[in-house]
Structure 1
Amino acid sequence: MVYTSQAYDCIYDWIDKKIRKKLNKQLFRPYAEYISIENPQFFNRIHNHSTWGNAGVGMIGLVMDDDELVNWALKGLDIQVSGDFVKDNDGGSIQLEGQMEAGFFAQLDNAFSPDGYYTEGPYYQRYAMYPFLIFAQGLANKKPELRILDYRDGLLIKAVYALVDQTNAAGEFFPINDAQKGMSLASRELVNAVSMAYHYGGKDAELLSLIQAQGRVPLNDSGLSASAGIAAGQTKPYVLKSRELTDGANGDEGAIGILRSENWTLMMKYAKHGMGHGHFDRLGFLLYDGKKEVIQDYGSARWVNIEHKDGGGYLKENTTWAKQTVAHNTVVVNRMTQFEAKVDASEKSPGTPYLFDASDKNVQVVSAKETNAYDGISMQRTMSILKLEELENPLILDLFSIQADDQNTFDLPLYYVGELMSTNMEFKKNNTLEPMGSTFGYQHLWKEGQGKISAENFRMTWFNGENFYTVTFQANEADEVLFTRIGANDPSFNLRHDPGLILRRRAGSTLFVTTIEAHGRYNPADEIPINSFTSIVELRILHESKDYAAVEIELKNGPVYVFAFSLTDKNPESKHSINLKQDKLTWNGHFQLIKRATEKEEI
């Protein structure tokens, strides 16, 4: 209906009046009623599919000057949906808890945060942006008194920027929640969206560089405006910056944090669940080096529109694997998915942003808490990108603090992309493979190898593209490393057989400390590896408690760096002091990076 209404609008005024009346009465009005009053459980919900329904009914109403249809589209239907319609086929609720409104305005009010973040994630925001914007364009033309493009402080234009900012250097969206990897700014929806944002949003010259890269424009006023700007030489490069995007209608229900430094793009997720398309991945992260995935999010188990794979729809492994916590780079407690894999429980309890600070390009920090995913357990993850002058690339530092009432088994997965080069431990490679469990996603993991960590650090180097990457874990006695491969219990080969590793720890309250370093290069044409080994000699915990975390990073042929962080007091004016084994560490503010050489030097 969204597309047909545009075509109908193009011929509406010159078509024969009798034919037009017949089409209106016998085709388009009944079709609009079918979408709306005959299927209120579809039309009234907050969901990307319903956005298409609202827009389709509203747009055909604009074409036919049928104000009743337009009002249905804007405000929803005053129809009570029976109790049988409580879930959609994605497992999400038809209506949000306490929802008292429906229709296009309700979609704008509930599905977006004030920053323009869409609660289902960027993949489905991309899908929904076309009906949002094309209906808004029609309303701007025929009902300018609504000032729809100014609604919620220009929310729809903000949403385009939010989408652009959720991409890597290749313009590909972060594949969080149900998302097919590779979806990008080149999609037809974004071709329309970016030109509209340029035309209606103040003619930001940086958007022209994105439009140039897209290589096409929509055939409307927005496309003409963008083309004119490019032809006039007004293009400026779009600069992707570090930013936090809040979630929830009021911006107070979690967020995602995006840190960017040189080639690194790090995204940590502590948002709402994402309704039926959400994953149980609270405090998970993904990492890019330029256009390359270094630490990946699996995305969805689906081959969109490819009939070979269950007609192109979601595969059962999307539920049994892709949505489960163990499929993500975040802690799993007692081999159980967060919130016991219950969507409603997760949706009602978003993560808690703690700190986002990208004001200093040398030390950027994102920190968030999750206190409800597991009973009796509070988790806080703090991720930093540190620019250390002795290293060729910025360093990723990850502090994952857990406060627990009892002893638990903690699994910390890391889904690296590339080929394993070496580790600093002995491990057993399994010739006979067995699944790692029977539920919560573990049934889809092969255990390819395992080993007990004997040193204070576990280190693994892998190769990806032309670069080397090393992850270093601070280890406790009896920690175990498991080398995994996705693909167990997958009779139809629906899953990618990607590698991963899991650091397993049996503990009460604990602190996981990890660094990820990009270093060196190797060109197969000259066969000369350069700087293929890590520069980190040792990673040590200096202090861990419910209030503070302090770690020490010793570099090869260089100084020692200390990073200290307050886990409970984020007042930038606060003074902090913790006792170490040999001295006392003091600092002001949320955190501090200290460089120690022969003399202590604060930076």
Structure 2
Amino acid sequence: MKINQSFSFVVIFLFLTFSCKKENASETNTKSELSTSQEHPKLILTAQGVKDIRAQLGNIPIFDKSLQAVKEEVDVEIEAGIDVPVPKDYSGGYTHSRHKKNWFVLQKAGLLYQILDDEKYAKYVKDMLMQYEALYKTLPLHPKTRSYARGKLFWQCLNDSNWLVYVSQAYDCVYNYLTEEERHKLETNLFKPFADHISVDSPQFYQRVHNHSTWGNAAVGMIGLVMDDEELINRALYGIKDLKLDATKKDDDGGYLNKDGKAGFLANIEEPFSPDGYYNEGPYYQRYAMYPFLIFAEGLHNVKPELNIFDYKEGVLLKSINALLNLSDADGDFFPLNDGQKGMSYYNGALVTAVDISYHFGDQDPGLLSIAKQQDKVLLDDSGLAVALGIKNGKEKPFDKKSINLSDGPEGKQGGVGILRNQDLELVFKYASQGSSHGHYDKLSYSLYENGEEIIQDYGLARFVNIEQKGGGNYLKENKTWAKQTIAHNTVTQNETSHYNGKYEIGSQNHPDLHYFSTDNDKVQVVSSEVKNTYPGTEMLRTMAIIKDEDFEKPFLLDIMKVTSASANQYDFPYYYFGQVLQTNFEYKSPEILKPLGTKNGYQHLYVEGVAKANKDNSKFSWLNNNKFYSLTTVTDNNDEILFTRIGANDPEFNLRRDPSLLLRRKNSKNTLFVTTIESHGNYSPVTESALNSKSNISSVKVLLDTKLYTAIEITTINDKTKIFITANTNALKEVKHALTINGKNYEWSGSYYFK
């Protein structure tokens, strides 16, 4: 949509008539107050930025379009009138949604006042803030009692913090419009008490390393920057000093208070982010946390440049944006690692902020401009102007997502996430730390995508965000009973018990380690990791490869899971696929009455729809999804069971999706090896009703060797072409030379693996 002619006339007229100094709209302001006009706005949109934007209006298409959209939205709200209701609802309810909308509209109206110099926007902000001042000083804690830290406007301090982060920006934009008396009234009765409540009054919320606390730190710090309140700014940066808390007391979100004495904005940068910019809670919550991280950082950069905040921890905040963009599929949707809602993407407003700020304050990566162009909007501030000018001048280049390994942990020594990309295939291999309170018990799990479509899925979270009918929009009990449990993921579950016994206290103290990550050869890309403490006496080593070979239509996945245990166990190994079953090479029976697979640890939520005994060296399963064919070939023996399962048992409120899986069960085994290939091949046209290349290209998968040192796999195609893959299970350094003999044949190579 092009900017309309009337709006173009307005911005051109404003550009021609703006004077260097505007008259303050409040008649009671003194000359001394007017002289401070250059100090505000200063937080996100700066006084110099206002001048630069006004000079370009009507000549920067994506900025002009964004400005027009915001103007239309705010004008509708002004016409409708101000509504500041008494709080009473959970997420999704009217009062919650209204106050949430108000924070957005206030921020946008403040920006419009500065950019368009139209007093009606400043008056609207002032009038609404005065209504909030009158309401807030009368409010008790929110009437909904579920949260571990109740707010006043909202049922939890987290949303109160959201409000203050945005409203701080609005207050900055109208600061000079208000009289000194009006500012004193707002700061004394609204902003300072508001900041005190989410910090001093709510230490269980504020004094943590968690995305909740990041919002709280940013809220306190941003209003402190606007008010020039050094005490609030320091409280935001370093937490509340001399506060005695029980560091062993667990809150209802799974976190611990003031752990190791660390709190505040800087601690929330130091601990959750790895040197590569991976955020330990996962991309869904990284997306959510990036807004307060970056907005507060931008405010600190503008008001307190001596802090060099964008250089803190070797520039990790800007690095994290590149990491986050790489944690998305071909459609821009973030991989649902840990608690993550599917469909969240870099089209979210927080990522518009992230992309614009990263471009403006980083090295002006032209790849970011291509993302911004897809987002089709920019921030109405200094960074948005920089992006708009970059796009206007044709500087954008494609953002190239390649295979990448992202370490986890403050020092990058707590596992990580490896992403292998080849053509349209994406493998997401999770060998990360627990991920704070939002972590899942899914060590060495994976998901597989083709051109943005899930082949093998990660379930994500069990929550209907901001849908009031479903638990008030909050986490459902099934998030703990199903989504977090190991059996909900594509990894090994031992004896129907989740990793670390499903205990946060244990999981947070352990993590897998990277064995090797190799992407130098774009035809064979491999990631391998090991973990020792998911179960006492059991070790797991998983090696996954995306292989592009001339004898295959597309790249295929090779998965090798090596389990070593001191005792005999039952191992369950699921594959959560999507689509329609086409064919198996084993016979299965479907029960007349569906029953759950087990009674706890997620098993109570799986119906058993089919049961089979493996009767061949390879069990094969093929399915159709989104008009593409897929085939799974796995090494089995006659003692293995194969189960078709479906999520949905013991779910009377239908809170869970009814997704299927194929589950391989191996009983009474100590040391064992799971070896699987997954192929994407052919396609089906419903228009011509024709199937192309609908069958697997693999005739057999065989284990040639499995020792402590090496595992060798032979893959034979239907045309009798043989491929050999050997992985080094111990010494996998690039410079190490290997030599071994298998069935009379010698193999020599240097590095982590061999393939030919």
Report the TM-score, using the length of structure 2 for normalisation: 0.77
Matched, 1:78 2:241: yes
1:583 pairs with one of 730, 736, 745: 745
Matched, 1:67 2:230: yes
Please state how far the C-alpha of 1:577 moved relative to its aligned partner: 3.2
Q: For 1:55 and 1:324, how far apart are their aligned partners in 2?
A: 33
Q: For 1:284 and 1:502, how far apart are their aligned partners in 2?
A: 14
Give the match for residue 5 of structure 1: 168
1:476-524 deviation line (CA, Å, top 9, x unaligned)? 2311111000000001000000000111112111111000000000010
Q: For 1:589 and 1:471, how far apart are their aligned partners in 2?
A: 28
Please state how far the C-alpha of 1:34 moved relative to its aligned partner: 1.1
Matched, 1:44 2:207: yes
What SS does structure 1 have at the residue aligned with 2:338? coil
1:157-199 deviation line (CA, Å, top 9, x unaligned)? 1111111000000000000111111000011100111111111
What SS does structure 2 have at the residue aligned with 1:24? helix
One-letter identity of the residue aligned with 2:204: Q
1:368-388 deviation line (CA, Å, top 9, x unaligned)? 001000011000000001111
Please state how far the C-alpha of 1:16 moved relative to its aligned partner: 0.7
One-letter identity of the residue aligned with 1:500: S
Say if 2:247 and 2:256, in contact at 8 Å, map to a contact too. no
* Unaligned ranges ≥5, structure 1: 595-603
Matched, 1:302 2:471: no
Give the match for residue 252 of structure 1: 413
Q: For 1:472 and 1:535, how far apart are their aligned partners in 2?
A: 10
One-letter identity of the residue aligned with 1:192: T
What SS does structure 2 have at the residue aligned with 1:206? helix
1:105 pairs with one of 263, 266, 278: 266
Matched, 1:365 2:526: yes
Give the match for residue 586 of structure 2: 425
Report matched runs for 1:215-226 at 5 Å. Answer: 215-226=376-387
Say if 2:355 and 2:368, in contact at 8 Å, map to a contact too. yes
Q: For 1:434 and 1:444, how far apart are their aligned partners in 2?
A: 10
Q: For 2:606 and 2:316, how far apart are their aligned partners in 1?
A: 42
* Unaligned ranges ≥5, structure 2: 1-163
**Alignment CA distance shift 1:482-1:197 (3 Å):** same
Q: For 1:583 and 1:205, how far apart are their aligned partners in 2?
A: 51
What SS does structure 2 have at the residue aligned with 1:546? coil
Please state how far the C-alpha of 1:85 moved relative to its aligned partner: 7.2
- Superposition RMSD on alpha carbons, in Å? 1.1
Q: For 1:302 and 1:40, how far apart are their aligned partners in 2?
A: 26
Q: For 1:19 and 1:199, how far apart are their aligned partners in 2?
A: 34
1:547 pairs with one of 684, 709, 719: 709
Q: For 1:23 and 1:579, how far apart are their aligned partners in 2?
A: 79
2:178 pairs with one of 12, 15, 20: 15
1:283 pairs with one of 437, 444, 461: 444
One-letter identity of the residue aligned with 2:240: L
Report the TM-score, using the length of structure 1 for normalisation: 0.97
1:51-79 deviation line (CA, Å, top 9, x unaligned)? 11000000000000000100000011113
Give the match for residue 293 of structure 2: 132
**Alignment CA distance shift 1:85-1:350 (3 Å):** closer
One-letter identity of the residue aligned with 1:63: V
What SS does structure 1 have at the residue aligned with 2:533? coil
1:92 pairs with one of 255, 265, 268: 255
Give the match for residue 517 of structure 1: 679
Matched, 1:388 2:388: no
Give the match for residue 571 of structure 2: 410
Say if 1:93 and 1:275, in contact at 8 Å, map to a contact too. no
**Alignment CA distance shift 1:80-1:145 (3 Å):** same
One-letter identity of the residue aligned with 2:316: L
Rg comparison, structure with higher value:
2
**Alignment CA distance shift 1:345-1:95 (3 Å):** farther
One-letter identity of the residue aligned with 1:174: F
Please state how far the C-alpha of 1:244 moved relative to its aligned partner: 0.7
Greater strand share, structure number: 1
Matched, 1:177 2:338: yes
Q: For 1:445 and 1:331, how far apart are their aligned partners in 2?
A: 16
1:231-271 deviation line (CA, Å, top 9, x unaligned)? 11111111101111111111111111110000011011111
Report matched runs for 1:405-554 at 5 Å. Answer: 405-506=566-667, 507-554=669-716
One-letter identity of the residue aligned with 1:170: D
Give the match for residue 366 of structure 2: 205
Please state how far the C-alpha of 1:84 moved relative to its aligned partner: 8.3
Say if 1:41 and 1:85, in contact at 8 Å, map to a contact too. no
1:312 pairs with one of 467, 473, 479: 473
Matched, 1:150 2:311: yes
1:500-549 deviation line (CA, Å, top 9, x unaligned)? 01111121111110000000000100011000000000000000122210
What SS does structure 2 have at the residue aligned with 1:193? helix
One-letter identity of the residue aligned with 2:180: K
Greater helix share, structure number: 2
